[in-house]
């Protein structure tokens, strides 16, 4: 589905990503691991259109998407989780979900005047969808809570929920489990597995928690010093000498 070919991203003379080549198969939950500073987040940012690569290509279903801006990738169904921005913290959980879809009729003044009925229908549909998402993620009891009052883990679930408001195909998650307690981490893991199995989402996730990676991801890709060091099943990766060395070396 996503193919990364010989991608470099240099910052001045520093090679954060130094010739990375990898594939994310349709329908997979692919894990991306590696020591701090390996270039994982930089590579995500290149794939998601946040950074332009110094060289190399990214394709999605054979189409060259290298350097496309995030909103164009969004329309193709390629999403990085939306951080809950500062200005959204004062909105409720449900309102945060309803904000996501673009191209709503109510956005222009002309439409506001002439299509009131359609706007009302769209809002009802959005509300219904938001409530379905909240139920799916088992956070319906939080729907009227201000997003700013959620715990770190609950915010991560809301971020995942925002990807469900549009027709996502492939979702990139950067350290979704960081600082999240075990119970919520399991809830997040379950949601990822269900989205994968029931809705056909493809995932690529960066994570440090190896238990989490081993439970969810196949294959696992290991990066070190801007390059892909190894890939395979979690078990296979954890026995790889080069991988062990890369981790011990930092």
> Least distance to ligand ADP from the beta carbon of 115, Å?
44
Identity of the residue, 132 or 225, whose beta carbon is nearer to Mg ion in the bound complex = 225
Closest CA to 232 of 213, 215, 218: 218
Q: State the minimum distance, in angstroms, from the CB of residue 225 to ligand ADP.
A: 9
156-179: string of b/e by CB count within 10 Å (b at 16+)?
Answer: bbbbbbbbbbeebbbbbbbebbee
- Pick what 202 binds: ligand ADP, Mg ion, none; C-beta below 5 to 8 Å, kind-dependent: none
Q: Is 242 exposed, middle or buried (0-12, 13-18, 19+ CB in 10 A)?
A: exposed
CA 36 to chain centre: 19
Report in angstroms how near the CB of residue 25 gets to ligand ADP at its nearest: 22
Q: Does 114 bind ligand ADP (CB under 6 A)?
A: no
For residue 43, the minimal CB distance to ligand ADP (Å) is 7
Q: What is the dihedral of CA 209, 212, 215, 220, to 10 degrees?
A: -50
Query: Residue 17 or 97: which CB sits closer to Mg ion?
Result: 17
At closest approach, how far in Å is the CB of 183 from ligand ADP?
A: 26
**Binding of ligand ADP at residue 49 (CB under 6 A)?**
no
Residue 38 interface partner, choices ligand ADP, Mg ion, none, CB cut-off 5-8 Å depending on type? ligand ADP
Closer Cβ to ligand ADP, 96 or 174, answer by number: 174
What whole-number distance in Å separates Cα of residue 193 and Cα of residue 209?
Answer: 16
Q: Which helix (H) or strand (E) holds 174?
A: strand 170-174
Q: Does the footprint of Mg ion cover residue 231 (CB under 5 A)?
A: no
Nearest Cα to Cα of residue 223 among 54, 43, 38: 38
- How many residues belong to the site for Mg ion (CB under 5 A)? 1
Should residue 41 be labelled a site residue for Mg ion when binding is judged by CB under 5 A? Answer: yes
Shortest CB 67 distance to ligand ADP, Å = 16
Q: Which stretch binds ligand ADP (CB under 6 A): 38-46, 74-82, 101-109, 141-149?
A: 38-46
The two three-digit tokens of residue 126, written as one number: 């959005």
H/E run at residue 247? helix 241-248
Count residues near ligand ADP (CB under 6 A). Answer: 11
Q: Does residue 39 interact with ligand ADP by CB under 6 A?
A: yes
Distance CA 51, CA 33 (A): 20
* Distance in angstroms (rounded) separating the CA atoms of residues 97 and 164: 9
Of 19-27, 34-42, 112-120, 162-170, the window that binds ligand ADP (rule: CB under 6 A) is 34-42
Residues engaged in binding Mg ion (CB under 5 A): 41
């Amino acid at each position: 589905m996503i193919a990364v070919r010989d991608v470099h991203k240099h910052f001045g003379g520093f090679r954060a990503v130094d010739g990375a080549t990898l594939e994310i198969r349709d329908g997979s939950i692919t894990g991306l691991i590696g020591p701090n500073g390996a270039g994982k987040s930089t590579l995500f940012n290149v794939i998601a259109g946040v950074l332009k690569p110094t060289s190399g290509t990214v394709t999605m279903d054979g189409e060259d998407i290298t350097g496309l801006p995030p909103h164009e990738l969004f329309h193709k169904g390629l999403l990085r989780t939306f951080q809950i921005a500062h200005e959204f913290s004062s909105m409720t959980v449900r309102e945060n979900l309803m904000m996501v879809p673009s191209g709503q009729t109510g956005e222009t003044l002309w439409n506001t005047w002439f299509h009131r009925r359609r706007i009302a229908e769209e809002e009802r549909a959005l509300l219904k969808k938001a409530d379905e998402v909240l139920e799916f993620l088992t956070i319906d009891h939080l729907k009227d809570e201000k997003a700013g009052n959620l715990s770190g883990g609950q915010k991560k679930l809301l971020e995942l929920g925002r990807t469900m408001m549009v027709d996502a195909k492939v979702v990139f998650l950067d350290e979704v489990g960081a600082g999240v307690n075990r119970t919520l981490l399991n809830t997040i893991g379950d949601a990822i597995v269900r989205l994968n199995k029931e809705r056909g989402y493809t995932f690529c996730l960066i994570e440090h928690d190896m238990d989490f990676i081993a439970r969810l991801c196949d294959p696992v890709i290991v990066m070190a010093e801007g390059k892909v060091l190894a890939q395979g099943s979690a078990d296979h990766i954890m026995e790889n000498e080069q991988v062990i060395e890369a981790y011990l070396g930092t």
